[in-house]
Structures are given as C-alpha cells and as structure tokens.
Structure 1
Amino acid sequence: MARLILLRHGESQWNATNRFTGWANVDLTAAGEAQALWAGRLLAAHELRVATAFTSVLTRAIRTLWIALHASGQAFVPEHKTWRLNERHYGGLTGLDKTEAAKRFGAEQVARWRRGYADRPPPMNDPEHARLQADRRYRDTPVPRTESLKDVVARLGPWRAELDRALEAGPVLVVAHGNSLRALVSQLLRLDPAQVPGFEIPLANPLLMELDPDGRAREPRYLDADRAARLPHPA
C-alpha cells in the first residue's frame, strides 16, 4: 500500500495570539520551530523515508517542511509548493482575534463559520483582496474573497492527480494547514460532510496513512500518541 504522511505546520505567530490567519503569510514562533524539529525527529525514529514532499505557498508551512526534512536527514527530498494546499481563506475574519470576533458576530455564528462544512465567513474587503491578488505567489491564481471547507475540498481536486502520481514513486509527505488537511483527510477516509466539523488536526504531529489501491486510508495513526487527536470513522 502507498504511504502518505500529513503534517500540520508548527505554531505560527497568529496561532499564538489567537487570530484568524487564513491566507495571511505569518511565520512560525520559536515554539513552532521546536515542534517542527520534533516532527522531523519522529519521522527519523519511525524510519519514514520520504520520496516526495508537498506544501503550500505560505511561510509557516514551508518552514515546517524544511525543518522537519532537515531533522529527519532528508533535506534533499524534492518538494513542490502549491496554493491549493493553503489554509482556508477566512475572508473578512482574517487577522481578527477569535474572542473579539465572537463578541462582534456572536459565538454561534463564528462557530458555524469555523466548523461548518459549507458556511463561508464574510468576504475580504476590496483593498485587502487587491493586495493579496497582487502577491506574486498568486500570479494567475483565482484568489478567493472567502472560503468554506467545501470550497477547500473543491480546490484540492486538481492537485489530487499530482499527489497520486507522486505516491506511485514512494512515500509522500504533505505539510499544510488545519483546514486543508481536514479537507484532505475527509476525502481519504470517505467521510460524510456532517462528520467533518467534529475533528481537529493537531499542530506538528505527523499523521501516517496507508492507502489502498483505490486511495482509501486504512488505520491512520499519529506518530506522537501523547498528542494524538481523535479521527472519525468512515460513515
């Protein structure tokens, strides 16, 4: 069976200050760097030899990949970056403190935006969206103004063929974000959309999946059992 390792980035500067990050390009904290280092050491301890790596175009994920590969003695592994693995676009919530957002919009509404499958936050305003669209990493990219998790599942679609080809050559490491990984896990486990809001991907804990020939994940497990989060069973 093919082997796939999923890794959420280490703690970012806006994770530490409880802000909605989305496509904002923030870096890791010192704690996040240490988490990425530990993730790489776990890969080495479990003798997981990666053939190819994928990540988003956001710094927190890229640096997590670099640190983890170096720590596992695999800095030479080919890596591919794609905006399709970016975090979910939080639209007008981007940069807001999550507690303040709950006070402004109501805790129930913010919870629906955060954990609902098809709920989109308010769109990003014109000036902020124009600045994001002008970023050269998004040249020829249809930058959204906001996204639901359902939208993230859809944007992963064209990339999945590239992932499948890479898996034919050997184990693949994907370093991405909480919501892009939730979207990918929901596909690999064949989850019903109603199951998706009920699980969280922990920071910097490698999730190992063995994939059947049809691409279905079997018995996924986190390498650091002490920080493992519950994964839903297929419907």
Structure 2
Amino acid sequence: MSERLLVLVRHGQSEWNLKNLFTGWRDPDLTPRGVEEAHRAGQRLKEQGYQFDIAFTSKLSRAQKTLQLALGELGQTGLETVEDIALNERDYGDLSGLNKDDARAKWGEEQVHVWRRSYDVPPPGGESLKDTIARTLPFYVTEILPKVLQGKRTLVAAHGNSLRALIMVLEKHTPETIMKRELATGVPVIYRLKADSTVESVVDLAD
C-alpha cells in the first residue's frame, strides 16, 4: 500500500509580512527572504527524499510562488497543481492593508487582539478563524483528503490561517489551542495518515 503522505507549507515571507501589514486576500509578492524560504522548503524536502503526485495551493501569488520554487528544488515544476480560493488566507476585511500598529491606534490594543486571536470574532468586513475553517475544511474533506487516502503524495502550499484549518482536524485542536498553533514561514510539516484519515505521525522540518 502506498504511503498516505500530506505535507503542508506556509508561504515564505511576503512584502506585507515585512511591513507588518494585515494581508488577508491582498496579493503582495514574496520578499527576497521569502523566496529564500521557499527554496529552502524544497531543499528540506529533497534532503528527506520526498517526491509528490499532486499539489494544492490558493489563488494568491505568495502561496503559488512558494509552491513553484519548492517544486523547482524537487525537479517537479510540471506537477499537477490545483489552485482554489478555499485555501486563501483569512480575509481581514477592513484591516487589510493597514499597519498593525496603526490598527491598534485606531481601534485599541484589546479590540485588535480580539480580532486577531479570538476564534469566532471577525474584524469588520472580514472573517474569523471559524469562518476561514468553514470555507477551507470542506475543500480538504472533498478534494485533498481523498487524494491522500488514495496514496497520492500530496503537497499543500497555503497560508497561516487556512493551514490552521487543516491542522485543527489533523492534530485535534480545540478552538482555544488552535489559536496558539504557530506555523513558521517556509517550513514543511509532514503528516502520515492512517487509513481512517487520522494522523499516524507528524514531523516538522524546521532547521
């Protein structure tokens, strides 16, 4: 039986990460450091001998570029890839494009903290993590998970919050604990699943 392999990678640093801006569905490019992180993600996977049968990513260029740079390191630039809005980052609504310090000055430290770190309170015009999970999880269940269970080695390059939606199920987090689950940019997290779709093992490929 083929291994049931699922690898998650958060995109490399973006220009707006660097500028401390709320990004969400806005589409800034990777920084030079982000490009380096994407290459390093592919190098880490290559060092461990990984190859893939299918990849998934969002409709945002920072995730797509991270995926392509990583696949380039693996010699798999022509890999079948599915791009879907379901894997987009959480939509920060009216906060998008704002400096986080400016947002705190406008709405207050406590309110901005609630929007960023509560499970189910959305920012104005945007999504909570709960909303993001409601968008992302059905796509995982119907599109990604079946490929993994069929034995297709699957790579997903996406965003901190859309990946948290998958990790919440994989690692059985509660609404409280998932908010504390940090994901470094450009660091692959390797899951091997059992036939019942639960996790057999997980490895973080951080240096």
Normalising by structure 1, we get a TM-score of: 0.83
| Aligned counterparts, 1:88-127, within 5 A | 88-123=90-125
Q: Tell me the CA shift for residue 17 of structure 1.
A: 0.2
| Pairing partner for 2:179 from 194, 197, 209 | 197
Identity of aligned residues (%): 41
User: What is the distance in 2 between the residues matched to 1:101 and 1:151?
Assistant: 21
- The number of residues matched between the two structures is 203
| Pairing partner for 1:158 from 113, 133, 138 | 138
The residue that corresponds to 1:212 in the other structure is 194
| Aligned counterparts, 1:1-235, within 5 A | 1-123=3-125, 146-160=126-140, 161-167=142-148, 168-224=150-206, 226=207
User: What is the distance in 1 between the residues matched to 2:114 and 2:129?
Assistant: 11
Q: Tell me the CA shift for residue 14 of structure 1.
A: 0.2
What amino acid is aligned across from residue 145 of structure 2 in structure 1?
D
Please say if residues 51 and 169 of structure 1, whose CA atoms lie closer than 8 Å, have aligned partners that are also in contact: no
What amino acid is aligned across from residue 114 of structure 2 in structure 1?
R
User: What is the distance in 1 between the residues matched to 2:177 and 2:35?
Assistant: 31
List structure 1 segments (4+ residues) > 4 angstroms apart after TM superposition. none
Query: What secondary structure is seen at the aligned counterpart in 2 of 1:5?
Result: strand
Q: Tell me the CA shift for residue 219 of structure 1.
A: 3.4
Please say if residues 6 and 154 of structure 2, whose CA atoms lie closer than 8 Å, have aligned partners that are also in contact: yes
User: What is the distance in 2 between the residues matched to 1:177 and 1:66?
Assistant: 15
Please say if residues 149 and 179 of structure 1, whose CA atoms lie closer than 8 Å, have aligned partners that are also in contact: yes
Q: 1:109 to 1:219 in 2, by over 3 A?
A: farther
User: What is the distance in 2 between the residues matched to 1:4 and 1:184?
Assistant: 11
Q: Tell me the CA shift for residue 33 of structure 1.
A: 0.5
Unaligned runs of 5+ in 2: none
User: What is the distance in 2 between the residues matched to 1:187 and 1:108?
Assistant: 29
Q: Deviations over 1:137-179 (max 9, x none)?
A: xxxxxxxxx1010111111233121112221142100000010
What amino acid is aligned across from residue 46 of structure 2 in structure 1?
A
User: What is the distance in 1 between the residues matched to 2:104 and 2:199?
Assistant: 36
Q: Tell me the CA shift for residue 77 of structure 1.
A: 1.4
User: What is the distance in 1 between the residues matched to 2:20 and 2:7?
Assistant: 27
The root-mean-square deviation of aligned C-alpha atoms, in Å, is 1.1
Q: Tell me the CA shift for residue 112 of structure 1.
A: 1.3
